[in-house]
Amino acid sequence: MDKAHIPDMATLVSEQYVPYWHESEEVIVIGAGFAGLAAATEAHNAGASVTVIEKMKAPGGNSIISDGGIAAAGTPMQQSAGIHDTPDLMYSDMLRAGLGLNHPALVRKVATRSTETFLWSRDYLGVPYMDRIDQFGGHSVPRCYTAENVSGSTIIRCQVAKLRELGVTMRMQTTLRRFVLDSAGAVCGVAVREGYDHKSPQSGTDRFIRATRGVVLATGGFGADVHFRTAQDPRLTQEIDSTNTPFATAEALIEALRIQAMPLHLSHIQLGPWASPDEKGFGDGPRFADYIVFQYGVVVSPTTSARFVNELADRKTVADAILEVGRPCIGIADSKAVEQSGWSIDRGIEKGVVKVFNHLSELASHYGLDDTALASTMERFNGHIEGKIDTEFDKPILTEARPLIHPPFFGMRLWPKVHHTMGGVQINARGQVIDLEGYPIGRLYAAGEATGGIHGACRLGSCAITECLVFGRIAGRNAATERP
Amino acid sequence: MDKAHIPDMATLVSEQYVPYWHESEEVIVIGAGFAGLAAATEAHNAGASVTVIEKMKAPGGNSIISDGGIAAAGTPMQQSAGIHDTPDLMYSDMLRAGLGLNHPALVRKVATRSTETFLWSRDYLGVPYMDRIDQFGGHSVPRCYTAENVSGSTIIRCQVAKLRELGVTMRMQTTLRRFVLDSAGAVCGVAVREGYDHKSPQSGTDRFIRATRGVVLATGGFGADVHFRTAQDPRLTQEIDSTNTPFATAEALIEALRIQAMPLHLSHIQLGPWASPDEKGFGDGPRFADYIVFQYGVVVSPTTSARFVNELADRKTVADAILEVGRPCIGIADSKAVEQSGWSIDRGIEKGVVKVFNHLSELASHYGLDDTALASTMERFNGHIEGKIDTEFDKPILTEARPLIHPPFFGMRLWPKVHHTMGGVQINARGQVIDLEGYPIGRLYAAGEATGGIHGACRLGSCAITECLVFGRIAGRNAATERP
């Protein structure tokens, strides 16, 4: 096709500018992470022809580098382990962390469908999960299941294999340029660029793909988009690292806003409190901090050598507390805590992110802490463990927790990194994108981090994968059952 | 003109759909509140022909029902009163309350130009101010000046008189329908409805007005728009009252978003902590609560009969604390505090919003407080006043504050109401509206509550009028000096 025939993308929104459709599908899914791949699977299984477009060279997006933890309330595994949990409890945990900004109907859907969706991922997709249930900050009970290899890539691999088995096309290096609207204002297709290469964004060829049933936006968050995120929160300059891939950017979200999607909660940007300033990106430190320090150990201020927060509070609370201290804080655990956790922290130690000390005084000296103040902090905390109640910061004391008196001791510096963007486009409980005036945009669905409203001001750890799969499936099925 | 010639407003954005311009001005200002009227004055004084459109029957918008308090740092009056204040201090107060979400360059502009703008309002517009300087919550020093009659209407009256003197047209009952963009994407005019009547919104006639230099959006906030605000914060249903006029709605903001203005901080919606559930709207209670209780008195929980917050903290802190108590709390002051404040609270008493008691025990009994617990609360607080330091909640003890021991005592129930929407469209320090990709939208300016970014997560009391006048003037002047 002659490129000159394609109108300027800056003005293209209406179908009247589309010279012709290069091809036609029933459902187009944009983005090949957890949400997009779940949407494609359901859309196919609902009988629609589906194509997935993905800007990168391989599927997985930012999902592939997540830690693969998924929350579900009321599972058979919880029952076997004697953990009493319900969707109601998960719902109220999410609302409390979200400071009430969450859209209740969406949270209800995520919580209610969490167990069925988790079992679908295990039994239908074949995702192998580790034989453990963890409790992350802000959750009232252990309800977090972790994919093998502690990696989202385990889930993505199973999702991709399933789509291949079903015969669904996934086109890599294909990026969204514009949504195209018909004369009634409904989405009737997309302009894409094929052969896209992030190293030379002008490369590739523009094409128009018609969608006769629906389009699902599942393009993730904008945590790595310094321009967009600093508009929303000027503190999050390029000086603040991110756990995301560098490709977690806002261009698809911007396209949705261009066609009048209602923006929600864009300034609520989550910082991961378990990140290390001594490595780039997500790294290996969070394993130690999130699964061991926050659960069994302590975080102390470099100024006072004392605790200052409930280490098992939600991410916003802990990250804000560390930022308020103003310098990297020190996470501390002992060998018994590592053993209790069942996790290996070898990679963190090899990288030098997690340090090993035979005595607490060595640890104090290494991190510039006050030896006596630290000893007193540890003594008080060990008292809380023995008393089974944290009278200082109200941290839940886990049943298997033991006083931190077993050398070697482990330490890690903590400084937050941009991790998740709670904001995005508004959807309703059917996964339809809502416009500025409160009406669904015809034939446009969305799921995952591209949407806002589910997590409110603060997402709880392990709720994102649940959300992506629950709403990916809802969006895919509903897009597939639109009348052509 | 035949209405049939006017294209469907649902699709009209581009100039190509405008059949013809009914008229042409150099600058069009949308909204006749503090910001819009300031913009019109400056645009006129910069030599442009200006028209102001306003949807209501009279100018003033929501500004007219404000309490007329304006903050300025480093004024001659402060110097005479021995108050050391600087724009730097005001800047850091605003950033602290805004939780760092504020756009620093905009805050800097407001603080730096606060004194010059306040003096402009007094000396050029002729606004009469009371001979007092108050300190509101979150401000480090007294820097708030109050227009006579404690009402924004005093300022609006002077602004309107000045515009009449200058010969600037103000068209009432004229509402924005659409911004119109030229082929380069710049705003080249507006579609309006004349003869608009909010009681029958379909009434009136559509007209197209060309703007050869620029358009200023100054349409205020959306605090009374239940649909728009519940999308952003689902807690703010119609069950929550608002201090705004019922016409503080989002339709003009939506038009700006439709042409790709960057939305900022829409979910940051301020609740006034000084509001009474015993009257509708802003009412007369806030005078007593904000100027007397918060400054000299105490707020106690109905559950514990004890204080629970620094009453002079910023609005978000105090409102959140009251909401967390979960029931209306009780504000208490004595006759000495009322006398110290210099304010009359007669209207609040006449309405029954503020109650009078000869003994604290009567007050306790009326509000269902525990007599002994309340007595102990008052005794502790009186100790803080005598010691000049609040060792419980760190409330600043004002120099003239005296122990609360002088009957009669005054009480008022407190329950927050929606007061201000911190969010809106992004602007830069020149007042230009910024689009989703970070570029100014050609010839479009904005000022006042329609913009986001200046107050971040929480606006300090009395900073809104400063902001409206500072950025109204900047926007008006810059719009007027665009090349036609």
Note whether B263 contacts A263, CB cutoff 8 Å.
Answer: yes
C-alpha of A469 from chain center: 12
Peptide bond preceding A408: is omega within 30 degrees of 0, i.e. cis? yes
Where are any strands of DSSP class E within B327-436? 329-334, 354-357, 409-414, 417-421, 424-425, 432-434
Distances (CA, A) of A78 to A74, A118, A133, A447: 6, 13, 8, 27
Q: What is the 3-state secondary structure (H, E, C) of A26-37?
A: EEEEECCCHHHH
Helix (H, G, I), strand (E, B) or coil at B28: strand
- Residue B446 has φ and ψ, to the nearest 5°, of -150, 155
Whether A268 has its CB under 8 Å from any CB of chain B: the answer is: yes
Closest CB to A437: pick one of B103, B254, B260. B254
Token pair listed for B246 = 């019922």
Q: Residue for token digits 């708030």?
A: B144
Cα separation, B139 vs B130, in Å, equals: 19
pLDDT at A144 > cutoff 80 = yes
Q: Which helix (H) or strand (E) segment is A439 a member of? A: none
Give the length of chain B. Answer: 484
A-B CB pairs within 8 A amount to: 72
Note whether A267 contacts B233, CB cutoff 8 Å.
Answer: no
Closest CB to B104: pick one of A231, A234, A437. A234
pLDDT at A304 > cutoff 90 = yes
Cα separation, A67 vs A285, in Å, equals: 12
How near does any CA of chain B get to the CA of A119, in Å? 31
Encode pLDDT of B423-437 as tens digits.
999 999 999 999 999
Rg, chain B, Cα only: 23
Whether B266 has its CB under 8 Å from any CB of chain A: the answer is: yes
In this structure, the number of other CB atoms found within 10 A of the CB of residue A350 comes to 10
Encode pLDDT of B285-336 as tens digits.
999 999 999 999 999 999 999 999 999 998 889 998 998 898 999 999 999 9
Cα separation, B177 vs A325, in Å, equals: 49
How near does any CA of chain A get to the CA of B248, in Å? 16
- Residue A432 has φ and ψ, to the nearest 5°, of -75, 140
Encode pLDDT of A163-179 as tens digits.
999 999 999 999 999 99
Q: Which ipTM score applies to this complex? A: 0.90
Neighboring chain A residues of B233 at a CB cutoff of 8 Å: 100-101
Whether A451 has its CB under 8 Å from any CB of chain B: the answer is: no
Note whether A10 contacts B102, CB cutoff 8 Å.
Answer: no
Whether A104 has its CB under 8 Å from any CB of chain B: the answer is: yes
Whether B104 has its CB under 8 Å from any CB of chain A: the answer is: yes
Cα separation, B367 vs B409, in Å, equals: 13
Buried b (16+ CB within 10 A) or exposed e, B224-243: bbbebbbbbbbbbeeebbbb
Q: Amino acid letter at A379?
A: E
Q: Amino acid letter at B390?
A: D
Q: Which helix (H) or strand (E) segment is B345 a member of? A: none
* Cβ atoms of residues B284 and B348 within 8 Å: yes
How near does any CA of chain B get to the CA of A457, in Å? 9
Token pair listed for B25 = 């001005």
Q: Which helix (H) or strand (E) segment is B154 a member of? A: helix B152-166
* Cβ atoms of residues A348 and A284 within 8 Å: yes
Alpha carbons within 13 A on the beta-carbon side of A77: 20
- The DSSP bridge partners found for residue B175 are B193
pLDDT at A427 > cutoff 70 = yes
Please indicate whether residue B229 is annotated as part of the active site: no
Enumerate the H helices of B1-103 as residue ranges. Answer: 34-45, 76-80, 87-97
What pLDDT was estimated at residue A392?
95
Whether B237 has its CB under 8 Å from any CB of chain A: the answer is: no
In this structure, the number of other CB atoms found within 10 A of the CB of residue A105 comes to 11
In this structure, the number of other CB atoms found within 10 A of the CB of residue B99 comes to 17
Q: Which helix (H) or strand (E) segment is A342 a member of? A: none
- The DSSP bridge partners found for residue B193 are B175, B206
Cβ partners under 8 Å of residue B294, min gap 6: B136, B137, B274, B311, B312, B318, B331
What pLDDT was estimated at residue A1?
38
What pLDDT was estimated at residue A266?
98
Note whether B101 contacts A234, CB cutoff 8 Å.
Answer: yes
Strands A69-71 and A50-53: what pairing? unpaired
DSSP label at B261? B
What pLDDT was estimated at residue B3?
45
Encode pLDDT of A328-350 as tens digits.
999 999 999 999 999 999 999 99
CB-count exposure of residue A262 (10 Å: 0-12, 13-18, 19+): buried
Buried b (16+ CB within 10 A) or exposed e, B337-363: bbebbebebeebbeeebbbebeebebb
Whether B434 has its CB under 8 Å from any CB of chain A: the answer is: yes
Mutation to test the A interface, candidates B181, B264, B267, B428, most A Cβ within 10 Å: B267
This prediction has a pTM of: 0.92
Token pair listed for A115 = 């167990």
Q: Nearest chain A residue to B426 by CA: give it.
A: A231
Neighboring chain B residues of A262 at a CB cutoff of 8 Å: 231
pLDDT along chain B (484 residues), means of 10: 56 84 97 98 98 97 94 98 97 94 98 98 98 92 95 97 98 96 94 90 90 98 97 92 94 97 97 95 93 96 97 91 93 97 94 97 98 97 96 92 97 96 98 97 98 96 97 98 94
Mutation to test the B interface, candidates A96, A436, A439, A454, most B Cβ within 10 Å: A436
Q: Amino acid letter at B217?
A: L
Cα separation, A467 vs A465, in Å, equals: 5
Q: Amino acid letter at A12?
A: L
Strands A432-434 and A440-446: what pairing? antiparallel
Token pair listed for B191 = 């579609």
Catalytic residue among A108, A210, A307, A315: A315
What pLDDT was estimated at residue B239?
84
